Amino acid sequence: MAKIDYKRGYTFRVGPLDQMQFSRVDVSINEIDTELDIPTQLKDASYTIEEIHKVVDEKVDAYVEEILDANPEGEKK
């Protein structure tokens, strides 16, 4: 039974470009069994990713807001 992994990452700017403030989010689905029904496996993975995303997104948004609030003028520290 062959199994495959899939990973995709997103990098995005979270602050002024001249300060090079970026964040990155990676999503990975591991051990997709090629002998089982792939759409069902991906549906289950999709639900889990969405639930995790809600929690992580909330934490990341709060963290980014904290960074930006600490430096509202875009001044270099």
Cβ of 60: how many Cβ atoms within 10 Å?
Answer: 14
Q: What is the separation, in whole angstroms, between the first and last Cα of the chain?
A: 54
Q: pTM of the prediction?
A: 0.53
Q: What percent of the chain has pLDDT over 90?
A: 17
Q: What is the pLDDT of residues 32-46, one digit of tens each?
A: 999 999 999 999 888
The secondary structure of residue 73, as a DSSP letter, is T
pLDDT in the model for residue 10: 87
